[in-house]
Amino acid sequence: MIEDLIGAGFALMTWSNVAAMVFGTLIGIVIGALPGLTTTIGLAILIPLSFGLSPLVALGLMAGLYNGSMYGGAIPAILLNIPGTPAAIATTFDGYPMTEQGNAASALRVACFSSAVGGFSSALALLLLAPPLSLVTLAFGPPEYFWIATFGLVSIAVLIGGDPIKGMISALLGLLISSVGMDTVTGRIRFSFGRLELVDGVNIVVVLIGLFALPRVLQMAEDAVTRGVRVSDLKIGRGQSTPFPIAHLIPTWIRSSVIGIMVGILPGAGGNIAAFLSYNEAKRSDRDPESFGKGNPKGVAAAEAGNSSDNAASMIPTLTLGVPGNAIAALIMGGLLVHGLQPGPSLFRDNGEIVYGFVLQMMITSVLLFALGGMIATRIFAQVLRVPQVMLAPMIVALMCLGLYTVNNSQFELFMMIGFGVFGYILMRMQFPLPPLILGVILGGMAEQNLRTALLISRGDWWHLLASPISKTIAGLVVLVLLVPLYRHVRERQSEALKNG
Amino acid sequence: MQRLKNRDVICAAVLVLFSMAAWMQAIALPARASLFPRLEIALLFGLSVVYLVRSLWRAQPVQSAEPFFRNLGRLLVALVLISCYVFIFPRIGFFTATFVFIPVFSFVIGFRDAKTLLLGAVLFTVSAWVVFVVLLGRRLPPEALLSAIFGGGA
């Protein structure tokens, strides 16, 4: 581990890697600052564009974008009361009141420092927890991997969004998409409808861009917002900004970082949940909880440290087990796959330098926020908000097409992307969660391959899937997760009954 | 009649029909190759039926629902323009197509500030050329129109 870490440290000291981290962080802040553009959309566009770059440079861009966008979301949340990303909703509670009191500069500084601290602690957790966990997974065989994939899929499907049935349907549609193409065992072509382009299956990048980026473009076209934010609407530096002693925030940072890391490791949760939990905990434990919501810097610190400390921690199950816990981790996993890196225990063994390099990039890009997210930079980034959305939409389309076309030079894939975009739009309007679908596409191969290998080893005995204690435990967890909606339903009924006396 | 208009009912019914069609495709495959897809489709069918029954049970009058499309006209125009762009750019080149696509898309959707449109298109196209061709050395479709005007070197 130490050798790989040192090797990774040296590998990162090249101009291309440094430029990738700086550029990725800047792009991330810009994407986060633009309401309507989220980390997932940014990553979906970036992944195909990074094709052809060396894996470390591509991962540096992704790490920067991830950390940068988490902070970027705070800029409009503080200045305009509009969260740039869902994870920045809790930042508006105290950030905007601070702006109204003339403390926008102070709020932005607190947000920037808190994001940096949260991101760094999260990366530290990834560095300390992922390698030992990856060693544990060496004891896993095909049945255990089948259950791990099932657990990842079921958790996201059931826990994300309010409707477990729609979540499960979404996941199954993703699994079906992953079944398209040549069956690796028998060599039979499945569900290709005679199209040679589908023999190798559906390119994951097509699905990522189509589902995550195009529906947003279509929404932008429908809304047709022709006016960006006017500079006069931004209240940066208006009035006398009160400096806030950063040392007072340390306990909030520690508490929020721990919460964010725990939320990050759990499947189905995300930065917004981490931010809300951290905010509530900061409010609950404060001597003056009434001051929250009225411009308390600790509220901004808790929300920002909480959402940023979820970042690298969410990569722990992704890198060690190959099972992403949320949509962003699923996209980064897609990015790893595009660059020929297979997440799981072998990732640390075979590509130690790259994976530790990524962990270091998550740390470095967090620290970069201190330099890049300061007041002057924030003024510049806030100007991005002036770009009208109707102009932004065709630019996003151009970047999507450019990225996708350079992967395989296939026009068929471009049209397929439009098809997935329309499909994603319909699913979104029908309130089907999209992360389970993308996870189904990513984990489908892993689940099928391990199920068939397990059945092959046991000569068709399905009980072999539950032979080992690890398999039994993970299968038990799957059942528990499936029972969560039932438990919620019973709880709701009980609380309703209590209310009605 | 009103209940049948419920979009959840329609969606669930489409899913039921889709899973039946997918099952027909799957059973045409050898058993070993179709084992996993059959499992998926069977589960999809089961859940779609549950979704259908639940939607029929809870069906809301269609008038009370939020409209499905915020603006169907603009959505269709956007889709047509994106499809045209995807069809054209491998033929005439990325930069030429993009330089035309950005102002046309924005103008048709409703942004009428010609100066900003032109400036935006120029800035984006030049930046994309610098980043992807000059810095990253990406091979993009040849700029047919520019080649015809300025000669083969364009």
**Confidence bin at A294 (pLDDT 50/70/90):** confident
Of B48, B82, B109, nearest to A169 by CB-CB distance is B48
The minimal CB distance from A169 to the residues B51, B116, B140 is found for B51
pLDDT at position A1 over 90: no
Check residue B132 and report its DSSP letter. Answer: I
Residue A173 belongs to what domain range? Answer: 2-499
Angle at Cα A428 formed by Cα A58 and Cα A225, nearest 5°? Answer: 80
Q: Which of residues 34-53 of B touch A (CB under 8 A)?
A: 34-37, 40-41, 43-44, 47-48, 50-51
Domains held by chain A: number:
1
Q: Are β-strands A181-182 and A189-190 bridged in parallel, bridged antiparallel, or unpaired?
A: antiparallel
State yes or no: pLDDT of A176 exceeds 90.
yes
What is the pLDDT, as a whole number, of residue B1?
43
Is there a contact between A151 and A481 (Cβ–Cβ < 8 Å)? Answer: yes
Residues of B in contact with A427 (CB under 8 A): none
- Return the residue of B nearest to A192 by Cα: B25
Distance, CA of A477 to chain centre: 23
Question: Cα(A352)–Cα(A4) distance, rounded to whole angstroms?
Answer: 5
Name chain B contacts of A387, Cβ cutoff 8 Å.
120
C-alpha distance from B153 to closest chain A C-alpha (Å)? 21
For the residues A44-60, what does the mean pLDDT come to?
A: 87
Average pLDDT over residues A35-59: 85
B84-108 tens-digit pLDDT: 999 998 889 999 999 999 999 999 9
Q: Provide the sign of the torsion angle of the four alpha carbons A192, A196, A201, A204, taken in this order.
A: negative
- Measured distance CA(B131)–CA(A149) in Å, rounded: 38
Q: With the CA atoms of A19, A25, A27 and A30 taken in that order, what torsion angle do they form, in degrees rounded to the nearest 10?
A: -150
Q: Which residues of A touch B44 (CB under 8 A)?
A: 169, 172-173, 176
Q: Which of A387, A394, A401 sits opposite B105 (nearest CB)?
A: A394
CA A318 – CA A330 distance, rounded (Å)? 8
Comparing A213 with A176, the larger pLDDT belongs to A176
- Of the two residues A3 and B81, the one the predictor is more confident about is B81
To 10 degrees, the CA torsion angle through A417, A423, A427, A428? Answer: 50
Q: Name which of B23, B38, B79 to mutate to probe chain A: the one with the most chain A Cβ atoms within 10 A of its Cβ.
A: B79
User: How much of chain B is helix, strand and coil, in % rounded to 5?
Assistant: 80, 0, 20
Of A46-55, B7-16, B140-149, give the lowest mean pLDDT range: B140-149
Per-domain residue ranges of chain B = 3-64, 72-150
Confidence (pLDDT) at A342? 80
Q: How does residue B3 score in pLDDT terms, banded at 50, 70 and 90?
A: very low
Q: Which of A53, A387, A418 sits opposite B86 (nearest CB)?
A: A418
pLDDT at B82 over 90: yes
According to the per-residue pLDDT averaged within each range, which of A130-134, A379-383, B80-84 is highest? Answer: B80-84
Reported as half-sphere exposure (CB side, CA atoms, 13 A), residue A383 has a value of 5
Q: Does the CB of B127 have a partner CB in chain A at under 8 Å?
A: no
What is the C-alpha separation between A19 and A54, in angstroms, rounded?
A: 13
Nearest CA-CA partner of A308 in A36, A67, A38? A67
Amino acid present at A123? A
> CA-based diameter of chain B, in Å?
68
Q: Which pLDDT band, with edges at 50, 70 and 90, does B152 fall under?
A: low
**Which of B47, B83, B89 lies nearest to residue A172, judging by beta carbons?**
B47
Q: What's the pLDDT band for A361 if we cut at 50, 70, 90?
A: very high
- B56 at the A interface (CB within 8 A)? no
DSSP lists the bridge partners of residue A189 as: A182
The string of pLDDT tens digits covering residues A321-341 is 888 877 888 888 888 888 888
* Mutate which: A146, A153, A169, vs B, most B CBs within 10 A: A169
Answer yes or no: is pLDDT of B4 > 50.
Answer: no
The neighbour count for residue B71, using CB atoms within 10 Å, is 16
Q: Which residues contact A435 (CB under 8 A, 6 or more apart)?
A: A156, A160, A326, A327, A330
